Amino acid sequence: MKRPPVLLRIRVRGEEKGFGLWLPLFLLLPLGLALAIAFSPLILIAIIVLRHRRKQNRISPRRSRQLDSGARIARSSLGVLCSPRGIKTVFDVFCSMPGLRVDVRNKNEQVYISVI
């Protein structure tokens, strides 16, 4: 099993000054859990609406043709993310982040982000 990332290193340099920040990612876990708890009623409502619409689409397939493709994509994406397989996929992507480096430079400025 892959291990999740431990540290996030951010370095910003400007013309005059710059700063660096080492952020242990386990400190973000309580924030993530609080957000998940705060948004859980919305997620549950979305799941109920999706299942209700799925039942309606089985009854009248003509109605599913009337929905634009953007609504279908959004509905299927939310359904996948709320499934156990979607949650596992998000966790796998999170665990694949160690080694990620983002370096954006301008003539006078630089932003460097590294996940360790």
- Give the least confident one: 27-41, 43-57, 88-102: 43-57
pLDDT in tens, 44-74: 887 788 777 766 665 555 555 555 565 666 6
Among 103, 99, 104, CA closest to 115: 99
SS3 99: coil
- CA-CA distances (angstroms) from residue 73 to 66, 80, 95, 110? 14, 10, 26, 37
